[in-house]
Amino acid sequence: MKNLPKLAVPVGVVGIVLLLVVPVPSFLLDTLIICNILLALVILLTTMFVKKPMDFSVFPSLLLVATLFRLGLNVASTRLVLGKGFAGEVIQAFGHVAVGGSVIIGAVIFLILVVIQFVVVTKGAERVAEVGARFTLDAMPGKQMAIDADLNAGLITDEIAKKRRAEVAGEADFYGAMDGASKFVKGDAIAGILIIIINLIGGIATGMVSGGLAIGDALSKYGILTIGDGLVTQIPALLMAVSTGMIVTRSNAESDLGSTASQQLTQSRTAVMIAGVAAIGMAFIPGMPIVPFLVVGGTLLVIGQRIKAKEKKEAQDLERAALTQNVAPTETTEDLLEQMRVHALEIQLAPDLVDMVSGASDDLLGRVRALRRKVAMELGVVVPPVRTRDSVELPPATYAIRIAGVEAGRGMAPAGKVLALGDFLDALPGTSTVEPVFGLAGKWIPAEMRHSAEMTGATVIDRVSVLVTHLSSIIADNAARLLSREDVRVLVEGVKTVNAPAVEELIPSMLSMAELQRVLQGLLQEQIPINDLGRICEALTLRAKVSTDPEGLIESARAALGPALSAQYLDGNTLRVIMIEPGLEQSLLEGLRPSEQGTQILLDANRIETILSSLKTQVQTVEASGLSAVLVCAPALRPAIRRLVSAQTGGLPVLSYQEATAGNVHIETVGVVRGEGALAA
CA distance to 197, 205, 207, 587, per residue, from 215 (Å)? 16, 9, 8, 117
pLDDT digits (tens, 9 = 90+) for 245-281: 777 666 555 555 566 666 666 667 777 788 778 878 8
| Same-domain pairing of 67 and 188 | yes
Q: Which pLDDT score is estimated for 323?
A: 62
Instruction: Write down which residue in 544, 561, 578 finishes a domain.
Output: 561
- Rounded to an integer, the average pLDDT of 549-553 is 86
Count of residues in the chain: 681
Does 546 lie in the same domain as 586? no
If you ran DSSP here, which 8-state letter would residue 402 be given?
A: E
In this structure, the answer to whether residues 448 and 490 fall within a common structural domain is: no
Residues 517 and 505 in one domain: yes
Environment class of residue 119 by beta-carbon count within 10 Å: exposed (0-12), middle (13-18) or buried (19+)? Answer: exposed
Q: Tell me how far apart the alpha carbons of residues 460 and 450 are, in angstroms, rounded to a whole number.
A: 7
Residue 334 lies in a domain: no
Assign residue 347 the CATH number of its domain. Answer: 3.40.30.60
Q: Evaluate if residue 328 carries a pLDDT over 60.
A: no
Cβ pair 474, 409 in contact under 8 A: yes
Q: Count the Cβ atoms, other than its own, within 10 Å of residue 490.
A: 11
Same domain, 354 and 438: yes
Helix 215-248, helix 123-152: angle, nearest 10: 20
Q: Which of 478, 508, 525 is the last residue of a domain?
A: 478
Mean pLDDT score of the chain = 78
Decide which of 255, 278, 296 is a domain's last residue: 255
Mean pLDDT, range 543-569, rounded to an integer? 85
Residue 7 lies in a domain: no
- β strands within 511-627, DSSP E: 574-580, 592-593, 600-601
281/278 Cα distance (integer angstroms): 5
In a domain, 209, yes or no: yes
CATH number for the domain including 551? Answer: 1.10.8.540
Return the pLDDT at 391: 85
Max alpha carbon distance in the chain (Å)?
A: 125
Q: What tens digit of pLDDT does each residue of 445-490 get?
A: 888 888 888 877 788 888 888 888 888 888 888 888 888 888 888 8
Tell me, yes or no, whether 124 and 191 share the same domain.
yes
CB 472 within 8 A of CB 527: no
Q: What is the DSSP string of 34-73?
A: HHHHHHHHHHHHHHHH-SSGGGGTTHHHHHHHHHHHHHHH
Residues 184 and 198 in one domain: yes
CATH number at residue 613: 3.40.50.12790
Rounded to 5 degrees, φ, ψ at 445 are -115, 160
Containing domain of residue 518, as a range?
A: 483-561
Pairing of strands 600-601, 592-593: antiparallel
Residue 325 confidence (pLDDT) above 60: no
Report the percentage of the chain scoring pLDDT > 90.
1
**375: nearest Cα among 534, 537, 565, 155:** 155
| Same-domain pairing of 71 and 204 | yes
pLDDT tens-digit readout, 34-63:
888 888 888 888 887 777 777 777 777 777
For the chain, the domain total comes to 5
Residues 77/87, Cβ–Cβ less than 8 Å: yes
Clarify whether residues 407 and 355 are in a common domain: yes
Is 330 inside a domain boundary? no
Task: Quote the percentage of the chain above a pLDDT of 70.
Answer: 78
Measure the CA–CA gap between 66 and 43, rounded to whole angstroms.
Answer: 10
Which strands make up the sheet holding 398-403, listed edge to edge?
387-390, 345-349, 398-403, 406-412
334-367 per-position pLDDT tens digit:
666 666 677 788 888 888 888 787 655 457 787 8
Phi, psi for residue 398 in degrees, rounded to 5: -115, 145
Residues whose CB is less than 8 angstroms from the CB of residue 454 and which lie 6 or more positions away in sequence, other chains included = 139, 141, 142, 145, 460
The 630-633 sheet, strands edge to edge: 654-656, 630-633, 574-580, 666-673
Task: Name residue 587's amino acid.
Answer: S
Whether residue 667 sits in one domain with residue 654 = yes
Identify whether residues 290 and 305 lie together within a single domain: yes
**What is d(CA 590, CA 618) in angstroms, rounded to the nearest whole number?**
24
What DSSP assignment string belongs to 405-468? TEEEEEEE--TTEEEEESS--TTS-SEEEE-TTT--EEEEEEGGGHHHHHHTT-EEEEHHHHHH
Does residue 261 lie in a domain region? no
Q: Is residue 93 in some structural domain?
A: yes
Q: What is the pTM of this model?
A: 0.52
What secondary structure does DSSP assign to 344-393, as a single string? Answer: SEEEEE-GGGGGGGS--TT-HHHHHHHHHHHHHHHHS--PPPPEEEE-TT
pLDDT at 577: 92
In a domain, 6, yes or no: no
Give the up-direction half-sphere exposure of residue 630: CA atoms within 13 A in the CB hemisphere. Answer: 23
Q: Are residues 301 and 365 in the same domain?
A: no
Across-strand partners of 579? 672
Residue 3 lies in a domain: no
Q: How far apart are CA 516 and CA 519, in angstroms?
A: 5
